[in-house]
Structure 1
Amino acid sequence: MRTAEILQFLTQLRDNNSREWFATQKDYCKELQKDFEKLTQEVIEGIATFDPEIKGLDAKNCIFRLYRDTRFSPDKTPYKSHFGAYMASKGGRKSPRAGYYLHLEPGNSFISGGVYMPEADVLKALRMAIYENIDEWLEITGEPFASVFPDMYGEDDKLKKVPLGFPKDWPHGELLKYKHYAFGRNIPDEFYSQQEIVPQLIEYYKYLQPLHRFLNFTVDEVLNLG
């Protein structure tokens, strides 16, 4: 696996983020993208050993484009400085279901899982599912899960108050303020210098499967994905 080489290239891309520079590196970038596709496929096959819903997923349908959509952004740099793949059943990167995410970026690589930026009706239903099944939620997201995926995303943009429809004095009301139910783990660059990275990634991802089962029960119900 050329993951360390991918990180080196992405460092150069971040420092030379222009179409002119990229034109001189396009063929090399395609080689590295092929290697990332191979890595993603191996990860998918590893996840499928404990999460059969992922079986048969094609890495090509999970990997995000390197090109940035700059139409509505003040940042006009044309390329992302990371490679990313969202491995979820029923749609890959476009799936609304909870899935497994792989992110390679110099100094900011991570893995994550859960549901990020769900539709309003899905978010409302997820909050209700947590409220009605709080003991199960706490068991899933407690130890050892919390040590493997210590970062719950959305602290910066969560609601200031418990949303309408829930008791304001509920002991776990903070959980209902989140707009995402996703968790992550930072991965240091040196991890990707190792020879065998896939087995360790799979060991981490295993901890997400109970979370995904909990979340996807509700997602499927709301969106009729069953």
Structure 2
Amino acid sequence: MSLSQCVPFFQELSANNEKTWFHANKPRFEKEIKGPFTDLVQIMIMLIGQEGPPLAITPKDAMFRIYRDVRFSKDKTPYKTHVGAVIAPGGRKDPGPGFYFQIGAEGLFAAGGCFQPGKNELLAIRRAIAKEPEVIGDLTAAPAFKETFGALKGNRNKILPKEFKPVLATQPLIANKQFYYAAELGCDWLDDERLPQRLLEIYRIGKPLNDYLAASLRV
């Protein structure tokens, strides 16, 4: 499973993001990019499923399409310049926390948490934070988390619902409307046979926070 060819492919796609170029290079994309990436996604579904609970998804459920939805975007370039997948019980459509990884022109990127929680999911997470503000602080202050991801990321609301304002002074994360963490891995791992295990290590470091977010959604 060789993935280093993803980098030059997406560098070229970035410079030629139009249908004629992609159509001419689609066989290359299918063989050199989509095929090996699908293999990696399958391995990660298996490894993460072994961590529990078991996963009943396929790579097709987890992987995002290369085609961009340009209907409501000022950027009309038709293709994404990376391949990506979400490992979660519901795959890429799961509204809860998951483990995401992508490969693009700059190499490998891994992330987790809740990137786009819906209105109900955001309310549930904020209520969990308001109930025990110290818990999410302890999770994101864990040495392995900080070393791997830095801080918890996400856009914030400038105005909070009244019920959450008293918590803001002691736990600013309650203002977040996204709760995700990320790590840039570059290009060095793309041809390393230990890549699945490296991704699993990163998954395990973020798992306590993912479990916390998942639990908040079940209340």
Normalising by structure 2, we get a TM-score of 0.91
Structure 2 letter corresponding to 1:79: Y
Q: What SS class does the counterpart of residue 166 from structure 1 fall into? A: helix
Which residue of 1 is the match for residue 28 of structure 2? 28
Which residue of 2 is the match for residue 45 of structure 1? 46
C-alpha distance in structure 2 between counterparts of 1:146 and 1:206, whole Å = 14
Q: What SS class does the counterpart of residue 190 from structure 1 fall into? A: coil
Q: CA offset at residue 151 of structure 1?
A: 4.4
Which residue of 2 is the match for residue 141 of structure 1? 140
Say which is worse superposed, 170-179 or 91-100, in terms of deviation: 170-179
C-alpha distance in structure 1 between counterparts of 2:36 and 2:55, whole Å = 20
Say which is worse superposed, 23-32 or 75-84, in terms of deviation: 23-32
C-alpha distance in structure 2 between counterparts of 1:4 and 1:162, whole Å = 44
Q: What SS class does the counterpart of residue 121 from structure 2 fall into? A: helix
C-alpha distance in structure 1 between counterparts of 2:171 and 2:137, whole Å = 13
Q: CA offset at residue 194 of structure 1?
A: 2.4
Which residue of 1 is the match for residue 3 of structure 2? 3
C-alpha distance in structure 2 between counterparts of 1:29 and 1:63, whole Å = 15
Q: Does 1:97 align with 2:96?
A: yes
C-alpha distance in structure 2 between counterparts of 1:27 and 1:151, whole Å = 40
C-alpha distance in structure 1 between counterparts of 2:128 and 2:92, whole Å = 24
Which residue of 1 is the match for residue 124 of structure 2? 125
Structure 2 letter corresponding to 1:202: L
- Contact persistence 2:68–2:79 (CA under 8 A): yes
Per-residue CA deviations over 1:102-146 (Å, capped at 9, x if unaligned) read 111122631111111111121112011012122322222222222
Q: Does 1:81 align with 2:95?
A: no
Which residue of 2 is the match for residue 174 of structure 1? 172
Structure 2 letter corresponding to 1:19: K
Which residue of 2 is the match for residue 224 of structure 1? none
C-alpha distance in structure 1 between counterparts of 2:47 and 2:170, whole Å = 35
- Contact persistence 1:54–1:87 (CA under 8 A): no
Structure 1 letter corresponding to 2:34: Q
Q: Does 1:204 align with 2:205?
A: no
Q: How many residues align?
A: 217
Per-residue CA deviations over 1:38-76 (Å, capped at 9, x if unaligned) read 1011112111232x1243321110000000111111111
C-alpha distance in structure 2 between counterparts of 1:20 and 1:186, whole Å = 31
Normalising by structure 1, we get a TM-score of 0.89
Which residue of 1 is the match for residue 163 of structure 2? 165
Q: Which among 187, 190, 204 is matched to residue 192 of structure 1?
A: 190
- Contact persistence 1:163–1:176 (CA under 8 A): no
- Contact persistence 1:67–1:78 (CA under 8 A): yes
The 1:69/1:129 distance shift into structure 2, 3 A limit, reads: same
Which residue of 2 is the match for residue 215 of structure 1? 213
C-alpha distance in structure 1 between counterparts of 2:129 and 2:167, whole Å = 15
Unaligned runs of 5+ in 1: 222-226
- Contact persistence 2:168–2:174 (CA under 8 A): no
C-alpha distance in structure 1 between counterparts of 2:45 and 2:167, whole Å = 42
Say which is worse superposed, 177-186 or 133-142, in terms of deviation: 133-142
Which residue of 2 is the match for residue 63 of structure 1? 63
Unaligned runs of 5+ in 2: none
Q: What SS class does the counterpart of residue 53 from structure 1 fall into? A: coil
Q: CA offset at residue 161 of structure 1?
A: 4.4
Say which is worse superposed, 124-133 or 186-195, in terms of deviation: 186-195
Q: CA RMSD in A?
A: 1.8
